[in-house]
Amino acid sequence: MNKLLLSTVFMVLVSTTSVNAWNPMNAESAVVDGSTTFETNGCTMCHDENMEKMGPSLMTIRMSYGGDENALVSFFKGETPARVYPAKAAMMQPQLMKIQTLYDNEIRALARYVLGIEKF
Ligand code: HEC
């Protein structure tokens, strides 16, 4: 009986990975999957791992940020200006507004994913 209940709870958690405020997976303390956050927020439309699209590739971004997760979090929070292609910063601006509606742990997971230091 307990086992059944646990597996039901697990399945519900797994099936609700979309970004919803009520989703217990998105609580401040929950571990968030950066690659999922990257995809569900439309980042892949302009960013690819190796290829330059509308935005710089993640490889290019890593050349500016290295593994400095805190610096990238500051950029996402609007505290520091663009480093990679400042001339194109206007295109990234609406994305930053969107990122700033996310929880802190989601923003950090995004930074870790972009910098290639998140391996969940
Ligand atoms: C409409 C296209 C577009 C989308 C969607 C987009 N970006 Fe960007 N992004 C850009 C462009 C253009 C730049 C280059 C300007 C710049 O360097 O900030 C950029 C730059 C960046 C940078 C480099 C920051 C720096 O210091 O220059 C990061 C990191 C980044 N994007 C992350 C994201 C994430 C995370 C998402 C999803 C929430 C996202 N982007 C969605 C176009 C986009």
Give per-residue pLDDT as tens, 27-38: 566 778 999 999
Tell me how far apart the alpha carbons of residues 120 and 100 are, in angstroms, rounded to a whole number: 23
Confidence of residue 120 (pLDDT cuts 50, 70, 90): very low
Q: Which residues contact 81 (CB under 8 A, 6 or more apart)?
A: 75, 89
Res 61 pLDDT > 90: yes
Q: What is the pLDDT of residues 95-117, one digit of tens each?
A: 999 999 999 999 999 999 999 99
Tell me how far apart the alpha carbons of residues 110 and 42 are, in angstroms, rounded to a whole number: 12
Which atom from ligand 1 is nearest to the alpha carbon of 65? 26
Residue of minimum CA distance from atom 32 in ligand 1: 43
Residue of minimum CA distance from atom 36 in ligand 1: 43
The closest alpha carbon to 64, from 81, 42, 43, belongs to 81
Ligand 1 center–CA 29 separation, angstroms: 26
Tell me how far apart the alpha carbons of residues 15 and 36 are, in angstroms, rounded to a whole number: 13
Tell me how far apart the alpha carbons of residues 2 and 45 are, in angstroms, rounded to a whole number: 43
Using most ligand atoms within 8 A of CB, pick from 19, 36, 45, 46 the residue to mutate for ligand 1. Answer: 46
Ligand 1 center–CA 8 separation, angstroms: 38
